[in-house]
Structure 1
Amino acid sequence: MKKLMIAAMVAALGGPVSAAPLCDDLGFAGLLAKCNRGDTIKLTLASGWPLGEDVVLQSGAYYKLEITADGSAELAIEGPSFFRAIWMNEIVINKIEIRPMAVDSIEFDKAGVAELSFIAIKPGSHEIRIPGSTGETQRITVSIQ
């Protein structure tokens, strides 16, 4: 009840809402429970095209990041502060599951799809971008509340 009152007060004042898991009873699966999953974040790696849109995540919630490269150029994404603010569950590439300790960047030499599943942990604003690019559309901001 206390959390609900605090969240209502913060929302009324126009600040960010208190970040809590998306469901009350996480059950046996814990934070990976279906009720704790947010929307999939989609990024597109294509020469001359925007990377994606800025997103707001909830700390403690489970997400998937789907990166699709069209093969028009050899492109990568990097986001060290973002990758250090999450707990990475797995990266799936061509139906091969990888459970990494840490990630700094992911590079695509050809067309393909990589799917990262993770739990957002550390609140703050983090950037994912195409290395060496300067355009505003070549980066997105991921805010964890």
Structure 2
Amino acid sequence: MKHLALAALLAAMQAAPATAHDFGFAGILSSTNMEEMPEITLSVGKPLADGPITLKSGTGYELEITSDGTGELGLEGAGFFRAIWINEIVINDLEVRPFGIESVEFDDAGTMEIEFIAIKPGRYVLRIPGSTGESQRVEITIQ
């Protein structure tokens, strides 16, 4: 009987989700759990991204948003920003660790990096506020 209980315990441990120690010392923020994400570009009359973006829940990403300065452009997506945990936002080598955001805006050319963990599965949209064109939005799916 003890052997069956031990076998069941071992099977359950193997089927259990990964723990923070499985990812390394930094847990889910370790480099082994980080993946690249396609860049988003803010430019008047140009698409935000090459196509839809798919992310994995529990995986870390760095989103690079670049504005070419052709206009004062923002990016909104409260649903998406609520479905992720933001570790930091880097602007001009200054790190910000916010509780949450709903949108960002660029008055001039520049780059912003948002490091985050995808959390809540679903389909989300990031878009230029007030725009109606399909190329002025990008669909992001968290699986």
TM-score over 0.5 for the alignment? yes
Q: Which runs of 4+ in 1 moved over 2 A?
A: none
Q: Could you say which residue in structure 2 is the equivalent of 1:88?
A: 86
Match for 1:29: what amino acid? A
TM-superposition CA deviations, 1:24-76 (whole Å, max 9, x none)? 92021100111111113300000000001211000000001100000000000
Q: Could you say which residue in structure 1 is the equivalent of 2:71?
A: 73
Mapped to 1, the partners of 2:93 and 2:71 lie a distance apart of 23
Mapped to 1, the partners of 2:38 and 2:27 lie a distance apart of 21
Name the structure with the higher helix share.
Answer: 2
Mapped to 2, the partners of 1:41 and 1:98 lie a distance apart of 22
Mapped to 2, the partners of 1:126 and 1:68 lie a distance apart of 20
TM-score (normalizing by structure 2)? 0.84
Query: Secondary structure of the residue that 2:101 maps to in structure 1?
Result: coil
Q: Percent identity at matched positions?
A: 53
CA-atom RMSD, angstroms?
2.1
Check conservation: 1:91, 1:98, Cα contact below 8 A: yes
Q: Could you say which residue in structure 1 is the equivalent of 2:106?
A: 108
Query: Secondary structure of the residue that 2:135 maps to in structure 1?
Result: helix
Mapped to 2, the partners of 1:96 and 1:40 lie a distance apart of 21
Check conservation: 1:41, 1:63, Cα contact below 8 A: no
Q: Is 2:32 the partner of 1:35? A: yes
Mapped to 2, the partners of 1:31 and 1:48 lie a distance apart of 37
Match for 1:101: what amino acid? F
Q: How does 1:1-145 map to 2 (within 5 A)?
A: 25-52=22-49, 53-145=51-143
Match for 1:135: what amino acid? G
Which has more radius of gyration?
Answer: 2
- Structure 1: gaps of 5 or more residues: 6-19
